[in-house]
C-alpha cells in the first residue's frame, strides 16, 4: 500500500484567488467568509453536521509545487523539518483547517475564519470535539515566541506556482 488514491468530495470557494496574502491560519482569518460546495452525491453525509460550531476541513494544496523536507515557514527565518511545520509543500499536500460553521444550505456549507484558497479540492470534513482535539498546555517547539507575528504574516506565494497573469 505505497500509493493511496482519494476522491475530491467538493470544492472550496473563498475570497483568496491567489496564494499570495492568504492568511496562514484560520485563527487569523476571523470573520472571513467562504463556502464549501459538496458534490451532490455526498449530500447525505452532511446530516447532523449543522449541530457543530467548528469543523475540520481536509483538503489538497492544489497550487503548491515541489516537496521539501526542510522548509522555511512563514513565521520564521530558519529552516525546519517539514513535519514540524504546517507548510503546504509536504510529501502529501494535505491541508488541515479548523473553520467556524455558520449554516448549511443543501450542499453548501457557509463557513467563517477561512484560510483556504479559492478552488481548493476538498477531501474530508470531520466534526471538531474539544474532548478529542484540545490540548491547551501543549509544548509548541519553534513556534514559541513567533505567534505574536501571526496577525501580520500572510502567505507570500513561496510554495506555489506564480498566479496566472
In the complex, the residues that contact a second copy under the rule CB under 8 A are 1-9, 25-27, 42, 44-54, 56, 58, 60, 62, 69-70, 79-86, 90-92, 94, 96, 98, 121, 123-144, 147, 150
What minimum distance in Å lies between the beta carbon of 13 and a second copy?
A: 15
Question: What does the angle CA 73 – CA 77 – CA 80 come to, to the nearest 5 degrees?
Answer: 50
Exposure pattern of 42-76 as b/e (b: 16+ CB <10 Å)? eeeebeeeeeeebbbbebbbbbbeeeeeebebbbb
13 or 60: whose CB is closer to a second copy?
Answer: 60
What minimum distance in Å lies between the beta carbon of 90 and a second copy?
A: 6
What minimum distance in Å lies between the beta carbon of 61 and a second copy?
A: 11
7 or 164: whose CB is closer to a second copy?
Answer: 7
16 or 93: whose CB is closer to a second copy?
Answer: 93
28 or 33: whose CB is closer to a second copy?
Answer: 28
What minimum distance in Å lies between the beta carbon of 158 and a second copy?
A: 17
Across the strands, what pairs with 164? none
Residue 41 to residues 8, 24, 82, 104, 106, Cα–Cα distance (Å):
11, 31, 35, 16, 12
What minimum distance in Å lies between the beta carbon of 156 and a second copy?
A: 19
**H/E element, 112:** strand 108-112
> What's the rounded Cα separation, in Å, for the pair 122 and 61?
10
Cell of 52: 457543530
Amino acid at each position: 500500500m505505497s500509493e493511496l488514491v482519494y476522491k475530491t468530495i467538493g470544492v472550496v470557494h473563498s475570497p483568496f484567488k491567489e496564494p499570495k496574502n492568504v492568511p496562514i491560519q484560520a485563527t487569523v482569518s476571523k470573520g472571513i467568509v467562504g463556502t464549501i460546495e459538496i458534490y451532490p452525491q455526498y449530500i447525505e453525509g452532511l446530516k447532523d453536521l449543522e449541530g457543530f460550531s467548528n469543523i475540520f476541513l481536509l483538503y489538497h494544496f492544489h497550487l503548491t509545487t515541489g516537496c521539501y523536507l526542510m522548509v522555511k515557514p512563514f513565521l520564521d527565518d530558519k529552516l525546519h523539518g517539514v513535519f514540524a511545520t504546517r507548510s503546504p509543500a509536504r510529501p502529501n499536500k494535505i491541508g488541515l483547517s479548523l473553520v467556524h460553521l455558520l449554516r448549511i444550505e443543501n450542499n453548501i456549507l457557509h463557513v467563517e475564519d477561512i484560510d483556504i484558497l479559492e478552488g481548493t479540492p476538498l477531501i474530508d470534513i470531520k466534526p471538531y470535539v474539544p474532548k478529542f482535539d484540545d490540548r491547551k498546555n501543549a509544548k509548541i517547539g519553534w513556534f514559541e515566541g513567533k505567534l505574536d507575528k501571526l496577525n501580520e504574516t500572510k502567505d507570500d506565494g513561496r510554495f506555489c506556482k506564480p498566479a496566472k497573469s
